[in-house]
């Protein structure tokens, strides 16, 4: 029985950051012998023909440049409403999306767009204008006292294994004795798990108790991380603790332009996502 083709969905608005998203998607697709599906959404029927012509040309050029199959999809509607539907329709394993940074981040992380991400059955990688370089060789994984630590670790470890990456665990500074004990137990589990998988890693504890996201971003920039893995530790209608409020803009639109992968570990994509291919 033939293996299911690994598919990466890339929503595009023909911008520079969308081109960057295609570059990231091409790197992933090439590693997994997969294909890219470019999605462009128009507002009315009269725009379809021109959009198809433009998107087909981009698909042709992208395929020639990165040596991966690229298909084009044009839909009438709203980009955020259609992403999930198209991803499910083509059985995408990953969605790679560009964002324009803090000023334009509302287009991606407004209340509705965040629900698109958290409701997705596949992970998102959100990129700015920073290229993919040699791939994701240094992955930062924030570990906290959440119950989903083991799931987050499993997902990130599988990604690291595919990309030959080193995992950099970043943990909060705790002062409560109970939370310290719990965190140490989680870190010990992570250490043993990664050693068993033969994945290189290190562990860094935040210097201050407050401002975890700022410290996380600063650390990721300091080690020149290629990817920052964030996992939704709550249910599908909420964001993780460190993404609540305005902090999601800090993380996704970080000044270092480090790509951010957002996953929902309790959802169906775990068994079939890119990380478990």
Coil/strand/helix, residue 88: helix
Q: Which residue in this structure is represented by tokens 């509607």?
A: 77
In what helix (H) or strand (E) does residue 251 lie, and over which residues does it extend? helix 247-252
Sites in the chain below the pLDDT cut of 50:
1-2, 103-106, 109-111, 233-245, 267-277
Token pair for 88: 């499910």
The pLDDT score that the predictor gives to residue 232 is 59
* Closest to 73 (Cα-Cα) out of 82, 64, 61: 82
Q: Which residue in this structure is represented by tokens 């990953």?
A: 94
> Alpha-carbon Rg of the chain, whole angstroms?
19
- Kindly state which CATH superfamily the domain 7-98 is placed in: HUPs (3.40.50.620)
Instruction: Give the span between the Cα atoms of 38 and 224, in whole angstroms.
Output: 29
* Closest to 217 (Cα-Cα) out of 185, 247, 186: 247
Buried-exposed string 144-167: b where 16+ CB fall within 10 A, e elsewhere: bbbebbebbbbbbbbbbebbebbb
Helices (H), 44-199: 48-66, 79-90, 106-109, 111-119, 149-163, 177-196
**CATH of the domain spanning 138-276, picked from 3.10.20.30, 3.40.50.620, 3.40.50.1370, 3.65.10.10:** 3.40.50.620
The pLDDT score that the predictor gives to residue 238 is 42
Instruction: Give the span between the Cα atoms of 56 and 38, in whole angstroms.
Output: 9
The pLDDT score that the predictor gives to residue 116 is 64
What letter does residue 132 receive in the DSSP assignment? Answer: -
Digit-coded pLDDT (tens) for 174-199: 999 998 998 999 899 999 999 999 99
Stretch(es) of the chain classified as CATH 3.40.50.620? 7-98, 138-276
Instruction: Give the span between the Cα atoms of 18 and 16, in whole angstroms.
Output: 5
């Amino acid at each position: 029985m033939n293996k299911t083709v690994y598919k990466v969905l890339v929503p595009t608005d023909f911008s520079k950051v969308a081109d960057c998203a295609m570059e990231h998607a091409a790197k992933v697709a090439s590693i997994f012998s997969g294909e890219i599906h470019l999605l462009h959404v128009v507002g009315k029927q009269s725009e379809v023909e021109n959009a198809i012509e433009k998107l087909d040309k981009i698909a042709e050029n992208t395929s020639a440049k990165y040596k991966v199959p690229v298909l084009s999809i044009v839909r009438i509607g709203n980009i955020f409403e259609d992403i999930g539907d198209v991803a499910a329709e083509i059985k995408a394993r990953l969605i790679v999306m560009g964002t324009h940074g803090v000023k334009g981040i509302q287009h991606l992380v407004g209340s509705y767009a965040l629900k698109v991400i958290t409701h997705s059955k596949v992970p998102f990688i959100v990129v700015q204008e920073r290229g993919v370089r040699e791939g994701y060789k240094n992955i930062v994984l924030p570990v906290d006292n959440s119950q989903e630590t083991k799931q987050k670790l499993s997902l990130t470890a599988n990604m690291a294994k595919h990309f030959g990456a080193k995992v950099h665990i970043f943990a909060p500074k705790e002062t409560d004795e109970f939370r310290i004990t719990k965190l140490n137990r989680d870190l010990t589990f992570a250490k043993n798990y990664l050693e068993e998988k033969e994945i290189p890693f290190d562990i860094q504890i935040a210097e201050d108790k407050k401002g975890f996201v700022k410290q996380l971003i600063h650390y990721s920039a300091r080690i020149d991380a290629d990817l920052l893995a964030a996992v939704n530790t709550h249910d599908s209608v909420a964001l993780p603790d460190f993404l609540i409020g305005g902090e999601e803009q800090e993380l996704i639109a970080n000044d270092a332009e480090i790509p951010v992968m957002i996953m929902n570990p309790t959802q169906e994509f775990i068994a079939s996502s890119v990380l478990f291919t």
